[in-house]
């Protein structure tokens, strides 16, 4: 897809809250409405008001709606605004809307619209470059998450990370199961041990010359989560290829950051493993020792993400000297999806300012994060009679929060840490907004905004 100046075959217009109507066609210009007048070579999309989410959704739906036609170019005037996030969203939406995951289909998706003709005298070249980097990254993240577990094993995810590192001149270290075992990352090791596809800890670094800040991003990379011996019911196991979303998201973020040449040092740590069953599987009743020497009573092998992340958080404290901030991205709990719904991620931590910053930058990206506050009663729910902590809470309520509290036990400086539970929006089995069926690439745009704002 290419952005050009001048005329296109079809004219597109974004209508704000019914300022233009075509009552004869039942089009009132309300949010989400689309009208294609193919003979007149016009397309109209309604939005309620101008913001990043609505604009991204509008341009995405222009591309989606034109798929059944043969028009090769669309002409459109960008919104009359100086706000960068709106304009970037405007350009990005076309490319996000053009995404379809057809890798395993014999009949491939159609991409008739090749050119977006920008009808304006203004110069948008820099914004278009940035929008392309963002959208290509998000579509890459979607592709990897959507790919099946038989293909994306932990070693394969490591190979994909190596390719990203090579293309973008990033440092890339890959550690295998022996390293994890020999160096005391036994919580992470235990989760992966029943699989014939061994775990990998992947550490990428982007180091510009004079970085303003040093930021660590950790991602849960469960290439498959069967639940382990605490096996998931059949219906809940489907879609668990998406349990690697956190890891793939942080891979996407470091890729985009390096392509945008931001002045921030970024470390991406991907904890890749498969949670499977077998004669050598870790068990409910096992006690595992994480790298920071804390012992964990396993009472449910399906609460595996926190075990992998616990050791990844320890790895960051051991191996990355004096970082400023640390974030973890994880499809961690079903409870977070129950509480906030499929379209909103949970954000937890002790540093209210950082949390507010994430929520603000998410709004500018058209993504939704909600703050879930910890309190002093929660840690008690993780008490174990035989170890330092238990991997599940004694209460059935507040599962997203107790998972977050568990993670906090493995971070040295709690004020630097923020936890993002993306279990809802990372993968949704229907189209929504500017997102397709399946993986969304959620979190990438929010974080690029945030890192750019530093
Ligand atoms: N990967 C799941 C969480 C999940 C659920 C992600 C639904 C996306 C959609 C996680 O490993 C898990 O199974 N968590 C358990 C924790 C429980 C055993 C304390 C859960 O949420 O049920
Ligand atoms: Zn699980
Ligand atoms: Zn999981």
pLDDT digits (tens, 9 = 90+) for 91-101: 999 999 999 99
Considering the four listed CATH numbers 3.30.70.580, 3.30.360.10, 3.30.465.10, 3.40.220.10, the one that applies to the domain covering 2-120 is 3.40.220.10
The CB-side HSE value for 280 (13 A sphere, CA atoms) comes to: 8
User: Which protein residues touch ligand 1 with a CB less than 6 Å away?
Assistant: 225, 243, 300, 302-305, 331-335, 337, 392, 399, 423
Q: Enter the pTM of the model.
A: 0.98
- CA 448 – ligand 3 centroid, Å: 25
pLDDT at 385: 98
Which residue has its alpha carbon closest to ligand 1 atom 8? 423
CA dist 21 → 15, 154, 165 (Å)? 9, 52, 50
User: Atom of ligand 1 at shortest distance to CA of 227?
Assistant: 13
Ligand 1 binding pocket mutation candidate from 192, 231, 332 (most atoms within 8 A of CB): 332
Ligand 1 binding pocket mutation candidate from 334, 339, 406, 428 (most atoms within 8 A of CB): 334
pLDDT at 138: 99
pLDDT at 452: 98
pLDDT at 255: 98
- CA 255 – ligand 3 centroid, Å: 24
Cross-sheet strand order for the sheet of 2-5: 2-5, 115-118, 73-76, 10-16, 42-47, 34-37
Ligand 1 binding pocket mutation candidate from 306, 329, 333 (most atoms within 8 A of CB): 333
CA 383, 385, 386, 392 torsion-angle sign = negative
Quick one: which of 203, 384, 366, 222 has its CA closest to 287? 384
Beta strands in 186-250 (DSSP E): 200-206, 213-225
- CA 64 – ligand 3 centroid, Å: 32
Q: Which CATH number describes the domain made up of 134-453?
A: 3.40.630.10
pLDDT digits (tens, 9 = 90+) for 149-207: 999 999 999 999 999 999 999 999 999 999 999 999 999 999 999 999 999 999 999 99
pLDDT digits (tens, 9 = 90+) for 68-86: 999 999 999 999 999 999 9
Mean pLDDT of 15-22: 96
Domain ranges of the chain: 2-120, 134-453
- CA 268 – ligand 1 centroid, Å: 23
Distance (Å, whole) CA 175 – CA 436:
34
Name the residues annotated as catalytic: 232, 306
Q: Residues near 333 by Cβ (< 8 Å), separated by ≥ 6?
A: 399, 400, 403, 421, 423
């Amino acid at each position: 897809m290419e952005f050009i100046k001048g005329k296109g075959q079809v004219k597109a217009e974004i209508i704000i809250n019914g300022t233009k109507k075509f009552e004869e066609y039942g089009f009132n210009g309300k949010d989400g409405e689309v009208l294609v007048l193919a003979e007149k070579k016009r397309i109209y999309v309604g939005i309620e008001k101008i913001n990043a989410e609505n604009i991204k959704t509008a341009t995405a739906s222009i591309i989606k709606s034109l798929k059944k036609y043969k028009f090769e170019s669309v002409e459109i005037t960008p919104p009359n605004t100086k706000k960068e996030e709106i304009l970037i969203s405007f350009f990005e939406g076309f490319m996000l809307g053009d995404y379809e995951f057809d890798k395993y289909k014999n009949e491939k998706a159609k991409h008739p619209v090749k050119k977006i003709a920008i009808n304006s005298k203004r110069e948008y070249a820099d914004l278009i470059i940035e929008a392309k980097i963002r959208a290509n990254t998000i579509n890459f993240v979607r592709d990897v998450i959507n790919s099946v577990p038989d293909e994306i094993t932990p070693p394969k995810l490591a190979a994909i990370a190596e390719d990203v590192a090579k293309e973008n001149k990033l440092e890339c270290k890959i550690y295998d199961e022996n390293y994890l075992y020999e160096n005391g990352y036994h919580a992470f090791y235990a989760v992966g041990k029943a699989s014939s596809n061994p775990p990998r800890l992947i550490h990428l670094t982007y180091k510009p010359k004079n970085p303003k800040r040093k930021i660590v991003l950790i991602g849960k990379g469960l290439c498959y989560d069967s639940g382990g011996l605490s096996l998931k019911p059949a219906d809940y196991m489907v879609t668990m290829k998406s349990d690697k979303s956190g890891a793939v998201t942080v891979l996407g973020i470091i890729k985009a950051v390096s392509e945008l040449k931001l002045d921030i040092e970024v470390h991406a740590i991907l904890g890749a493993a498969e949670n499977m069953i077998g004669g050598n599987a870790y068990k409910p009743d096992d006690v595992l020792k994480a790298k920071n020497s804390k012992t964990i009573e396993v009472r449910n092998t399906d609460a595996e993400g926190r075990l992998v992340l616990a050791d990844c958080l320890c790895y960051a404290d051991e191996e990355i000297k004096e970082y400023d901030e640390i974030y973890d991205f994880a499809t961690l709990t079903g409870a977070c999806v129950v509480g906030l719904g499929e379209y909103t991620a949970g954000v937890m931590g002790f540093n209210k300012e950082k949390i507010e910053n994430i929520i603000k930058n998410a709004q500018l990206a058209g993504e939704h994060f909600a703050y879930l506050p910890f309190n002093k009663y929660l840690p008690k729910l993780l008490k174990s009679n035989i170890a330092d902590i238990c991997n599940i809470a004694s209460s059935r309520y507040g599962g997203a929060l107790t998972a977050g509290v568990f993670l906090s036990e493995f971070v040295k400086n709690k004020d630097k840490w923020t936890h993002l539970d993306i279990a809802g929006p990372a993968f949704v089995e229907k189209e929504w907004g500017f997102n397709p069926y399946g993986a969304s690439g959620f979190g990438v745009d929010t974080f690029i905004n945030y890192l750019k704002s530093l």
